[in-house]
Structure 1
Amino acid sequence: MRIVFMGTPAPAAKALERLLSSGHDVAAVYTQPDRPSGRGNKVTASPVKEFALSRGIRVLQPRSVTTAEALDDFRSIGAEVSVVVAYGRILPTTFLEAPKYGAINVHYSLLPKYRGAAPVNWAIVNGETTTGVTTMKMDAGLDTGDILIQEDTEIREDETAIELMSRLSEIGADVLVRTLTELGSIVPIVQDDTKATYAPLMKKSDGFINWTLPASDIVNRVRGFQPFPSSFSFLRGMRLTLWKAEAIRGESSGAPGEILSVGADEWLVQCGAGTMLKIIEAQQEGKRRMAAADIINGVRPKVGEMFGASPND
């Protein structure tokens, strides 16, 4: 089957690699234009582009997919199906309907739950214990197409969004190959819109730690908001990002955000509902991530000090 692949980040590159290793004919790859990234703002190709070029596959990077010229270029490839994995653009229906078998999307949730751009992050933030991968037949809506295959997986108790995304990219690559292999016999399932939930792109402001939340909710945010926007607060006007934390059982009566205790290698902060948070790994602004003991030596937190939501608190 002649395929056009459309994707941009590392999980999409994993799916492309699996398609090729399973013997599928990928005629061309669409990916986002090269963009500045990193501290030096060096113009960088996407992981999908780098992988496709290493395999000698034609790469297209249109700045728009809404022009007649872009559609003509797409149709000229003569693909029987297009595969879309985190491409990063909304495709017009003319693109979706051009191939004989339409467009198949890999989505990293069990649709109709967590439609949108950040399903992995919000599943962890919301305390879900199960998630998965869905392949679907794309339509004009936002992740509303008919379901082809789904595979679920447990979300591990201490798993971060980065770690879960790595596992789901492997699962998704396998599910994609199965979908293409079984495409002629799969009976699509219409999504139940009444059960839909949404996973919008995260904003920087989502990362501000609300210390009135229970400690378990804050831990979920620390895990789920990685790598962006991360979970952070301010102490003496200094930004401190939490990368690993633990909810501690027991009751205490401090004010939310108050430092309750400081030991040689741990410190506890008061959260909402009488709960406590143990800081395990953190990062001062402009410095590397460190274990709690190293952070304590640098920051020297004091019992009774308060974390705030801004540098001025």
Structure 2
Amino acid sequence: MRLIFMGTPDFSVPALNALHAAGHDICAVYTRPPTKKGRGMTEQISPVHECADALGVQVLTPENFKSPETVEAFTAHQADLAVVVAYGLILPKTVLSAPEKGCWNIHASLLPRWRGAAPIQRAIMAGDTQTGICIMQMEAGLDTGPVLLRRETDIENTDTATDLHNRLMMLGAEAITEAVAQHDALEPTPQNAAGVTYAHKIDKQESRIAWSGDARQLDCFIRGLSPFPGAWFDADGDRIKILAARPIEVASDLKTRAGEVLDAGNGAPVIACDAGALELLRLQRAGKSAMSGEEFQRGKGLKPGTLLL
């Protein structure tokens, strides 16, 4: 097929490589414009841009699709299909309908659960045990289009956002390659309105941990935000990220308050929750390198009896 590919971050790269390797004619790659980063404000192109350059495919980086000229240039490719993966720009109806078969999106959840910007993080934070990839026919609404193909994967009780991101990234590449190969046989399935949830963008203030609640649910919260932006708490004026933790049981006769630092039996800090406790396995102070819980305690650690708010 003659394809347009639209994506920006590293999550999109395996899909671009897979479609190219399958022999499709990728007539253009659209990605976000270069950004300036670092002290020298060096211009940096996106991971998809780098991949397309390596494949020898034409790259286009419009700021948006508001001008008639940009839409006309898109339409002029005369593509059979556009594949969209974490592109980062809103596509107007004129773009969505320009290719013969429209635009297909690789979405990292089992729609209609977790429509929106942060489906990977939200699935872990909510304690979901399963997620997956949906190949969706795009329409004007936010992730509202019919699903053409879905593939499922379990969420393990040790998965971080990075672990699940990497697994879904590869599953998405497999799923879109399969979907494009079977394009004439796929039946669009409307989403069930009863199961809609939204994966709103993660706010840094939201990522502050509240020690009240069940330790196992707080572990999901931590893993869903690891490594970025990272669940965090304040201790003596320092902001400390928790990158990994482990829920543990505490003696039933031990009188504790949620947020109280308990004696660290194996060297890592242990924090009481309303139910159970969390052993903090990996932490990071602002501006410092990540370290194990034992290393943290050997330095400026957390004193037993301290109440974290």
TM tier relative to shorter chain: over 0.9
User: Residue in 2 aligned with 1:311?
Assistant: none
Which structure 1 segments of 5+ residues have no match? 309-313
Q: AA paired with 2:290?
A: R
1:179-218 equivalences under 5 Å are 179-218=179-218
Offset at residue 90 of structure 1 (A) = 1.2
Instruction: State the distance in 2 between where 1:159 and 1:38 align.
Output: 31
User: Residue in 1 aligned with 2:66?
Assistant: 66
Determine if the alignment matches structure 1 residue 300 to structure 2 residue 271. Answer: no
SS in 1 for 2:91: coil
Q: AA paired with 1:292?
A: G
User: Residue in 1 aligned with 2:132?
Assistant: 132
Q: AA paired with 2:102?
A: G
Instruction: State the distance in 2 between where 1:140 and 1:111 align.
Output: 16
User: Is contact 1:262–1:301 with CA below 8 Å preserved after alignment?
Assistant: no
Instruction: State the distance in 2 between where 1:35 and 1:97 align.
Output: 29
RMSD value over aligned CA atoms?
A: 1.3
Instruction: State the distance in 1 between where 2:41 and 2:302 align.
Output: 35
Offset at residue 213 of structure 1 (A) = 2.1
**TM-score, scaled relative to structure 2:** 0.96
**Percent of pairs identical after alignment?**
37
CA deviations 1:41-92 (Å, max 9, x no partner) are 5321100000001111110000111210110110111111100000001100
User: Residue in 1 aligned with 2:232?
Assistant: 232
Q: Does the C-alpha gap of structure 1 residues 41 and 263 become closer, same or farther in structure 2, counting only changes over 3 Å?
A: farther
Which has the higher mean CA deviation after the structures are superposed, 258-267 or 103-112? 258-267
Instruction: State the distance in 2 between where 1:254 and 1:109 align.
Output: 38
User: Residue in 2 aligned with 1:279?
Assistant: 280
1:1-313 equivalences under 5 Å are 1-37=1-37, 41-250=41-250, 251=252, 252-263=254-265, 265-273=267-275, 275-308=276-309
SS in 2 for 1:187: coil
User: Is contact 1:112–1:191 with CA below 8 Å preserved after alignment?
Assistant: yes
Offset at residue 256 of structure 1 (A) = 1.5
**TM-score, scaled relative to structure 1:** 0.95
User: Is contact 2:227–2:243 with CA below 8 Å preserved after alignment?
Assistant: no
SS in 2 for 1:262: coil
Q: Does the C-alpha gap of structure 1 residues 239 and 16 become closer, same or farther in structure 2, counting only changes over 3 Å?
A: same
Offset at residue 39 of structure 1 (A) = 6.7
CA deviations 1:186-221 (Å, max 9, x no partner) are 111011112111101100012101011221121111
User: Is contact 2:226–2:244 with CA below 8 Å preserved after alignment?
Assistant: no
Which has the higher mean CA deviation after the structures are superposed, 251-260 or 50-59? 251-260
Q: Does the C-alpha gap of structure 1 residues 14 and 194 become closer, same or farther in structure 2, counting only changes over 3 Å?
A: same
Instruction: State the distance in 1 between where 2:193 and 2:66 align.
Output: 28
Q: Does the C-alpha gap of structure 1 residues 292 and 160 become closer, same or farther in structure 2, counting only changes over 3 Å?
A: same
Q: AA paired with 1:112?
A: P
Q: Does the C-alpha gap of structure 1 residues 40 and 219 become closer, same or farther in structure 2, counting only changes over 3 Å?
A: farther
Instruction: State the distance in 2 between where 1:56 and 1:124 align.
Output: 37
Offset at residue 226 of structure 1 (A) = 2.4
